[in-house]
């Protein structure tokens, strides 16, 4: 080894698996590798041939560059079909869209896949043509661009997104020094349009963003057809600007509070140590009441003076659902008006009428679904030939059900309601008022299916002495008034602090508004009861027990009797309500809780003398037996849809 020469240390390494393979087996492994490679190439080629037509129609992803076709955000499509971008969206829709291309109509082609820009109203249909392989604007092209300039001039924050497109022809050798491919040609066309628009509007060049799709997004197919090439040579211009709300000049209106007792006016800041109020009104001062209690008392007095009432019950939530139709006898071509009624509209999101026919065995066949508006009104036209197509219908009837949905899609539904179908109209001596007939469902309930959970209390607004030229709104809803000027309206509301309102408006638009605050707590209980205890001592001689048949009092020595009776109702939690009653009757103490399944007709709450009491206390209320048992004890736990009961019942 020479001095200074690099030294290399060689170690004997163990042979690798490849090195240990005998040479005679290599040809077999090479042949297997070739077969696997050939199969992979065949699969890839087949996939490429399948994807090629999609790529020509603009539906496949283009490798190597980002695609942003401004696709419509599915979250922005409302029920009515309006395309509205949500506030949380990351994408902005253009204010206007223009397509600059060949003015000739598409010949024999079909539109390719639509883009989201087509959902925006097009502001101009003029289409200047581009020559094949050219990107220059001719005078006719400039005239059409001038129309765009005139339309958007003066907008705030103007900016353009311009996309160039070409046909499928390859770039000729003469044009390749200028345009390397169709992608470059489309970009040049977009840049020409962008420069012209920014120059005419006095905008910086950065206000126009130019891009190219080349031949990847044809609007006329098949793209290989020369007749469709002119239509595919185009430039799409999307215009964006910032909407500036015009300044609204409102006439000076004196700051007045339309509500009774100034419930919408801020509280006063009077720190006087002593205040005197009568019916919620301050004495000797023109100031504003300083406490909420004063205002609520003032509203209560005003409601009473104007024969209005606003009441609530946190322990009762009877749901009501019904519907009515007019006319009730129809022929083909008639327009049928429907009106729904629900007393828990704050818990529902939408309502619909489901119409169907049925044979004698009541086997239903769906006929139509009628959506109802916010006022629960809808309309449906009886189709021609209905009787002939459904000759086996039961008695010539059309049945319908009202169904309401909550926000989670759960629904409640009424029982079957019906219309009669006739061949012709029968003359009617009197002409009913349609609105009056549609009120047949008001306040009624035909509920058959209950799936919507309700944690609610009941609010009832009622009144009298409403003049014919006045209208009433209660709790935010329009309320019908009868011929005598009276109304009653009830709604179930969530359990929390609420504000009830009754507004009476005359023909001139002047309103009397009464607002009352009240609280529906999530836990609320009502209890009433009595307990009696009688203790005595017997000093009677002789067989008094035998004569009176009372061995408790006259069996010698001291005696005792007692009675427990009561009724309770309240919320166990947000869902469950408990109702219980007990009446042991007056009995010896050692027998008070025996035979709880037996009830004496003379028990408590059944011995009131009608001549000495009032069952309604003069407030239009009704008497109900909330514990309907034949025994001495009753218990019920329910959530409005299902219940568990203990008692003695006759079924």
C-alpha span between 407 and 644 (Å, rounded) = 28
In-domain check, residue 482: yes
Is 358 in the same domain as 428?
Answer: yes
**pLDDT of res. 422:** 83
**pLDDT of res. 289:** 57
Q: How confident is the model at residue 376 (pLDDT cuts 50, 70, 90)?
A: very high
Place of tokens 């919620």: 280
**pLDDT of res. 31:** 63
Between residues 24 and 526, the one the model is more confident about: 526
Is 338 in the same domain as 297?
Answer: no
C-alpha span between 475 and 454 (Å, rounded) = 18
Q: What is the DSSP letter of 287?
A: S
C-alpha span between 258 and 506 (Å, rounded) = 13
C-alpha span between 602 and 587 (Å, rounded) = 13
CATH number at residue 197: 3.30.1330.60
CB 489 within 8 A of CB 498: no
How much of the chain, in percent, has pLDDT values that exceed 70? 68
pLDDT by residue (tens digit) across 442-495?
999 999 999 998 888 899 999 999 999 999 999 889 999 999 999 999 999 988
In-domain check, residue 256: no
Q: What is the DSSP letter of 167?
A: -
Among 395, 423, 449, the domain boundary falls at: 449
In-domain check, residue 494: yes
In-domain check, residue 44: no
Is 427 in the same domain as 464?
Answer: no
Place of tokens 């005197």: 276
In-domain check, residue 337: yes
Place of tokens 């209980």: 525
- Give the tokens for residue 625: 């037996």
Rounded mean pLDDT, 126-139: 57
Backbone φ and ψ for 478, nearest 5 degrees, come out as -70, 135
pLDDT by residue (tens digit) across 538-558?
777 777 777 777 777 777 778
Q: Among 135-149, 205-219, 258-272, which stretch is predicted with the lowest mean pLDDT?
A: 258-272
- CA 563 to chain CA centroid, Å, is 53
Bridge partners of 364, per DSSP, are 358
- Most confident of the following: 381-390, 465-474, 554-563: 465-474
Is 397 in the same domain as 465?
Answer: no
β-pairing verdict for 471-474 and 477-479: antiparallel
C-alpha span between 208 and 189 (Å, rounded) = 13
Is 619 in the same domain as 538?
Answer: yes
Between residues 615 and 359, the one the model is more confident about: 359
Indicate if the pLDDT at residue 349 is higher than 90: yes
Those residues with Cβ within 8 angstroms of residue 206's Cβ, 6 or more apart along the chain or in another chain:
none
Nearest to 312 by CA among 575, 523, 571, 489: 489
C-alpha span between 108 and 224 (Å, rounded) = 12
**pLDDT of res. 260:** 77
How much of the chain, in percent, has pLDDT values that exceed 90? 18
Is 513 in the same domain as 540?
Answer: no
Among 426, 449, 472, the domain boundary falls at: 449
In-domain check, residue 33: no
Q: How confident is the model at residue 19 (pLDDT cuts 50, 70, 90)?
A: very low
CB 138 within 8 A of CB 100: no
Backbone φ and ψ for 326, nearest 5 degrees, come out as -150, 135
Those residues with Cβ within 8 angstroms of residue 128's Cβ, 6 or more apart along the chain or in another chain:
100, 101, 103, 137, 138, 140, 141, 143, 144, 145
301 C-beta neighbours (distance < 10 Å), count: 16
CB 145 within 8 A of CB 201: no
**pLDDT of res. 15:** 41
C-alpha span between 236 and 345 (Å, rounded) = 48
Q: How far is CA 564 from CA 534, 549, 633, 636, in A?
A: 12, 24, 11, 19
**pLDDT of res. 561:** 86
If you write DSSP's letter for every residue of 393-440 in order, what string do you get?
A: SGGGEEEEEEEEE-TTS-EEEE--EEEEE-SSPPP-SS---HHHHHGG
Is 569 in the same domain as 505?
Answer: no
Nearest to 83 by CA among 101, 70, 100, 66: 70
Place of tokens 């030229």: 469
C-alpha span between 459 and 492 (Å, rounded) = 6
Query: Which residues span the domain enclosing 104?
Result: 74-242
Is 538 in the same domain as 516?
Answer: no
C-alpha span between 453 and 411 (Å, rounded) = 10
CB 639 within 8 A of CB 576: yes
**pLDDT of res. 171:** 82
Is 443 in the same domain as 477?
Answer: no
Question: In angstroms, what is the C-alpha Rg of the chain?
Answer: 42
Is 437 in the same domain as 475?
Answer: no
Those residues with Cβ within 8 angstroms of residue 372's Cβ, 6 or more apart along the chain or in another chain:
338, 340, 350, 351, 352, 353, 378, 402
**pLDDT of res. 72:** 37
Intra-chain end-to-end CA distance of the chain, in Å: 118
Is 474 in the same domain as 406?
Answer: no
pLDDT by residue (tens digit) across 273-316?
667 777 777 766 555 555 777 888 888 888 998 999 988 888 88
C-alpha span between 635 and 581 (Å, rounded) = 7
Identify the helix (H) or strand (E) that includes residue 330. strand 329-330
Indicate if the pLDDT at residue 30 is higher than 80: no
Is 94 in the same domain as 192?
Answer: yes
C-alpha span between 378 and 376 (Å, rounded) = 7
Between residues 127 and 42, the one the model is more confident about: 42
C-alpha span between 458 and 348 (Å, rounded) = 16
pLDDT by residue (tens digit) across 306-338?
999 988 888 888 899 999 999 988 888 889 999
pTM above 0.75, yes or no: no
pLDDT by residue (tens digit) across 67-94?
333 333 333 333 333 444 444 444 556 7
């Amino acid at each position: 080894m020479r001095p200074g020469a690099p030294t290399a240390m060689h170690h004997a390494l163990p042979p690798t698996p490849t090195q240990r393979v005998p040479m005679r087996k290599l040809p077999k492994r090479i042949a297997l590798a070739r077969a696997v490679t050939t199969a992979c190439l065949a699969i890839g080629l087949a996939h490429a041939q399948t994807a090629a037509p999609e790529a020509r129609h603009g539906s496949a992803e283009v490798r190597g560059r980002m695609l942003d076709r401004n696709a419509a955000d599915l979250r922005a499509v409302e029920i009515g079909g309006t395309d509205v971008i949500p506030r949380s969206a990351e994408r902005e829709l253009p204010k206007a869209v223009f397509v600059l291309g060949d003015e000739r109509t598409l010949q024999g082609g079909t539109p390719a896949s639509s883009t989201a820009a087509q959902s925006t109203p097009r502001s101009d249909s003029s289409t200047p043509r581009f020559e094949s392989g050219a990107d220059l604007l001719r005078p006719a092209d400039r005239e059409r661009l001038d129309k765009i300039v005139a339309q958007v001039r003066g907008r705030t924050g103007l900016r353009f997104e311009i996309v160039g497109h070409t046909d499928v022809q390859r770039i000729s050798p003469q044009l390749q020094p200028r345009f390397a491919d169709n992608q470059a040609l489309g970009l040049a066309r977009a840049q020409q349009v962008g420069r012209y628009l920014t120059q005419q509007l006095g905008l910086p060049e950065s206000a126009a963003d130019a891009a190219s799709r080349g031949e990847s997004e044809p609007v006329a197919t098949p793209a290989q057809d020369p007749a469709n090439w002119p239509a595919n040579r185009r430039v799409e211009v999307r215009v964006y600007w910032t909407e500036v709300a015009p300044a609204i000049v409102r006439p000076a209106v004196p700051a007045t509070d339309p509500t009774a007792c100034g419930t919408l006016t801020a509280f006063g800041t009077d720190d006087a140590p002593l205040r005197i109020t009568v019916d919620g009104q301050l004495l000797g001062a023109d100031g504003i009441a300083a406490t909420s209690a004063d205002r609520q008392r003032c509203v209560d007095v005003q409601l009473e003076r104007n024969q209005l009432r606003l009441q609530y019950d946190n322990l009762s939530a009877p749901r009501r659902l019904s519907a009515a139709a007019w006319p009730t006898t129809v022929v083909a071509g008639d327009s049928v008006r429907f009106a729904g009624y629900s007393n828990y509209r704050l818990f529902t999101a939408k309502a619909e009428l489901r119409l169907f026919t049925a044979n004698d065995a009541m086997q239903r066949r769906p006929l139509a679904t009628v959506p109802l508006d916010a006022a629960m009104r809808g309309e449906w036209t009886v189709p021609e030939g209905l009787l002939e197509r459904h000759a086996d219908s039961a008695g010539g009837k059309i049945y319908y059900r009202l169904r309401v949905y909550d926000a989670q899609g759960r629904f409640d539904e009424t029982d079957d309601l019906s219309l009669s179908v006739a061949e012709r109209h029968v003359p009617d001596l009197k002409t009913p008022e349609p609105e009056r007939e549609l009120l047949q469902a008001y306040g009624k309930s035909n509920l058959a299916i209950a799936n919507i959970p309700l944690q609610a209390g009941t609010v009832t607004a009622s009144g009298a002495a409403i003049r014919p030229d006045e209208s009433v709104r209660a709790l935010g809803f329009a309320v019908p008034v009868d011929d005598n000027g009276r109304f009653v309206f009830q709604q179930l509301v969530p359990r929390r602090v609420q504000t009830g309102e009754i507004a009476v408006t005359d023909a001139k638009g002047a309103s009397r508004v009464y607002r009352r605050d009240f609280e529906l707590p999530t836990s609320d209980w009502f209890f009433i009861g009595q307990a009696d205890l009688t203790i005595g001592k017997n000093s009677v001689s002789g067989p008094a027990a035998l004569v009176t048949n009372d061995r408790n009092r006259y069996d010698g020595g001291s005696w005792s009797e007692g009675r427990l009776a009561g009724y309770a109702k309240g919320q166990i939690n947000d869902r469950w309500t408990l109702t219980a009653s007990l009446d042991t009757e007056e009995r010896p103490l050692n027998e008070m809780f025996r035979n709880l399944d037996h009830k004496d007709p003379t028990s408590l709450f059944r011995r009131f003398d009608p001549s000495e009491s009032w069952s309604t206390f003069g407030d239009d209320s009704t008497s109900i037996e909330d514990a309907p048992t034949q025994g001495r004890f009753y218990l019920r736990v329910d959530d409005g849809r299902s219940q568990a009961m203990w008692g003695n019942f006759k079924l």
